[in-house]
Structure 1
Amino acid sequence: MTITQQISDWFEHFHANPEVSWKEQQTTNEIARILTEFDVPFKTFDDVTGVVAEIGEGESIIAVRADIDALWQEVDGVYQANHSCGHDGHMAMVLGALSYLKEEELGCKIRFIFQPAEEKGNGSNAMIDRGAVDGVTYMFGIHLRPQEELPLGKASAAIRHGAANFVEGTINGVDAHGARPHQGNNAIDPLLAIGQFLKTVQFSPYEAYSAKLTSIQAGGESLNIIPGSAKFGMDIRAQANDVLQQLQKRIDKGIAQIGELYDTSIRLEWTDYTPAAEVSDEAAAIAREGIINVLGEQGLAPDVVTSGSDDFHFYTIRNPQLKATMIGLGADLGPGLHHPKMTFDRGALDTGAEILAETLKRASFTV
């Protein structure tokens, strides 16, 4: 069987068997099975999902990361695990790169990190805590990009993600009968005020940022009850880490004031922080060479700048000496990432695997 066919088969398997963050047990088992078949040494973990494998020899190490989890979302009226962010393709491409490289002469060890829970924003931290990047000099990732960012046949040497933070909030007022609102404290009132407040938070127009409600739960089936409690969620983003920190401070202060105004208790929990990209010029230069070798000069696109986020960047935030970049791959992807019916040109997966293999091989002779 050709590597191209293997990549296609791997993708089909992962696509048909999605698993959400921290529950990627069968995905982990399948990756381990493939690595065993290849006679590639690897390790798994007793307390988290994910796999770390190595090929090559020497004291120096470079690495590549594939995210392995799926989203939980509604598809055709049913909530289910769904690979609508391309992680099924990422796994197939990284395994494909391993296939292209495992019989090649390499300049050092190459570590393959199959990481859980990227969608939760903290899977990379679990891998870091378990030594996955110990001793690593260069690190690479790859991500399928939407049509509006990269067309089919193009690739970029870096994705400059923004920073993101997710917030869960609870409002505690007092229930009351609909005929006697003065006896209660309607949780919906401060909830609506929070939605309006977020629209008033402003920074310089030269900064990219956003703050919005993404989840609201209040009231029940009985419409004659004024609800005293509510829950909400927010998605907060900025292109720069310092702007995100300023956003958090303004939101904390503003929502505290709303709680005082409506005489309700509002509790916020900042649940998942993902930092903005810290791109290494050296790593990006090697990725550009890899892209040009596979696609030619015409296939190299400028760096992708996006307000989307990825926990890949914790690897460099926590290890400042690590030289890292994430390659962006055009694949005619639409309607968009996280859309329940997201599709892309699957022929791009072999191209991505070749770019990764060429990039990793070049990097192995650089350290």
Structure 2
Amino acid sequence: MMQTETRPSSDTFKEKIYETFDHLHKHPELSWEEKETTKFVEQKLKDAGCHRVITFDDCTGVVGDIGNFSGDCPIIAIRADMDALYQEVDGKMQANHSCGHDAHMTLVLGVLYSINNNELLKKRIGVRFIFQPAEEVGAGALKLVEKGVVDEVDYLYGVHLRPIQELRSGFASPAIIHSATRSVQFEIDGEDAHGARPHLTQNAIEIGAYIMNALHSLYFDPTIPHSAKVTRFISGGKNTNIIPGKASMAIDMRAQTNGLMKELHQRVLEIIHNAQEIFRTPIHITDDYGIVAAESSEGAQEIAAKAIEKVLGSEKLAEGIITPGGDDFHYYKVNVPRLKATMIGLGCDLQPGLHHPDMQFEVDSLFNGIKIFTEILKIHSVED
């Protein structure tokens, strides 16, 4: 269970946050399947006073607008991701919010709850709340970019809970510097043979071993964090006297810069192609997708840092977090270069780690995040 402090029944706002989180945590949905989550958030946006709430015919996700969208005021957007992971929990495969997206949605709704009665702020800026599907498969942000959800936005902020190893509860960072990520999935499509006749086929396990060893021979600038490793290798069956000709494999790649990822990706494709030539066995790439590295904006980071200092104090303002993890949030900035964007890292004593089926965090840390984002909006309403 998630950790919370005693819930004061007299505190209506806190109870609303707890109830929102409890509902989202108990009703996880997978990427592109967030139908009930979309309906739930849509109703919350309407109930909280958004004058425009947008859903989409061909995908999940929902956007809510509040404030001044007349064209004379800056538009500030806050994005939350919606989808859960599919993993084994207590011996059962199921959807599970082990990446904190239930917390992100709750936090962003909490910001809306905090400002919906602030008439002065709503006169000075427009605020767009973006609830994005399919972050875990690296595709949701691109879909919403196509929908034009950030076309009129000036500043975009995101948030992600951070593991306890990076940030303790009570701390926050104005930027998460995610790496570029990429996954290549492929099938080795040879023929099986009798174990007594190895000359009649090419062993798919040996082809896979060649590919794994070749990955270890890749060398790039050691000052730029990067990695490439096999994360799936399925071959063979119940019978041990059959040499398998087929295998299913996947390679995960990470690089701190988009430039290095481009080079790493090309070399991995060359290794797969070379294996096909050397072993004279067809290898079919079935999927090849990735997420760009962070390209945060200094202006957005500076405002986020001011807000963190105001809410938590200067001693709780952490430096930008460099991480090999990835997030499709950064597609918004890469595809709309004029956009000023940053993702805030929120300390919450999260452990044992993101994507762990038993991930836990201090839910009351969400109130720090709500205050930080509310302060960001207040800064924009005064400075812009």
Asked if Structure 1 and Structure 2 have the same fold, meaning a TM-score greater than 0.5 normalized by the shorter chain, the answer is yes
Mapping of residues 279-294 of structure 1, within 5 Å: 279-294=296-311
Residue segments in structure 2 that go unaligned for 5+ positions in a row: 1-10
Match of 2:247?
230
- Could you tell me which of 174, 178, 182 is aligned with 1:161? 178
Runs of 4+ in 1 over 4 A off after TM superposition: none
1:257 aligned to 2:274? yes
Match of 1:96?
110
- AA paired with 1:306? T
2:49, 2:66 within 8 Å by CA — same for their partners in 1? no
1:122, 1:272 within 8 Å by CA — same for their partners in 2? no
Aligned counterparts of 1:264 and 1:187: Cα–Cα separation in 2: 9
Match of 2:54?
43
- Could you tell me which of 67, 71, 75 is aligned with 1:61? 75
Distance 1:326 1:8, change over 3 A: same
Match of 1:73?
87
Match of 1:350?
367
How far apart are 1:270 and its partner, in Å? 4.8
How far apart are 1:296 and its partner, in Å? 1.1
Aligned with 1:301: secondary structure?
A: coil
- AA paired with 1:200? S
Aligned counterparts of 2:233 and 2:36: Cα–Cα separation in 1: 33
Deviation digits for residues 170-219 of structure 1 (CA, Å, limit 9, x no counterpart): 11111111122212222111111111111111112111000011111111
- Could you tell me which of 12, 21, 34 is aligned with 1:2? 12
- Could you tell me which of 248, 255, 262 is aligned with 1:245? 262
Q: How many residues align?
A: 367
How far apart are 1:365 and its partner, in Å? 3.8
Aligned counterparts of 1:352 and 1:30: Cα–Cα separation in 2: 21
Match of 1:321?
338
Residue segments in structure 1 that go unaligned for 5+ positions in a row: none
How far apart are 1:254 and its partner, in Å? 1.7
Aligned counterparts of 1:223 and 1:357: Cα–Cα separation in 2: 62
- Larger displacement relative to structure 2 (229-238 or 181-190): 181-190
1:173, 1:228 within 8 Å by CA — same for their partners in 2? yes
- Could you tell me which of 195, 198, 215 is aligned with 1:178? 195
Match of 2:218?
201
1:152, 1:332 within 8 Å by CA — same for their partners in 2? yes
1:24 aligned to 2:38? no
Aligned with 1:136: secondary structure?
A: coil
Aligned with 2:248: secondary structure?
A: strand
Aligned counterparts of 1:191 and 1:345: Cα–Cα separation in 2: 42
2:158, 2:343 within 8 Å by CA — same for their partners in 1? yes
How far apart are 1:363 and its partner, in Å? 2.3
1:85 aligned to 2:95? no
- AA paired with 2:366? L
Aligned counterparts of 1:294 and 1:4: Cα–Cα separation in 2: 17
Aligned counterparts of 2:195 and 2:44: Cα–Cα separation in 1: 61
Matched residues, percent identical? 47
Deviation digits for residues 68-127 of structure 1 (CA, Å, limit 9, x no counterpart): 000111112211111011000000000001111111122211000000000010100111
1:189, 1:262 within 8 Å by CA — same for their partners in 2? no
How far apart are 1:226 and its partner, in Å? 1.5
TM-score when normalising by structure 2 = 0.93
Deviation digits for residues 315-340 of structure 1 (CA, Å, limit 9, x no counterpart): 00000000000000000001111111
Match of 1:303?
320
1:68, 1:91 within 8 Å by CA — same for their partners in 2? yes
1:165, 1:271 within 8 Å by CA — same for their partners in 2? yes
Deviation digits for residues 137-194 of structure 1 (CA, Å, limit 9, x no counterpart): 0000111000111111100001011100111111111111112221222211111111
- Larger displacement relative to structure 2 (31-40 or 80-89): 31-40
- Larger displacement relative to structure 2 (133-142 or 1-10): 1-10
1:165, 1:270 within 8 Å by CA — same for their partners in 2? no
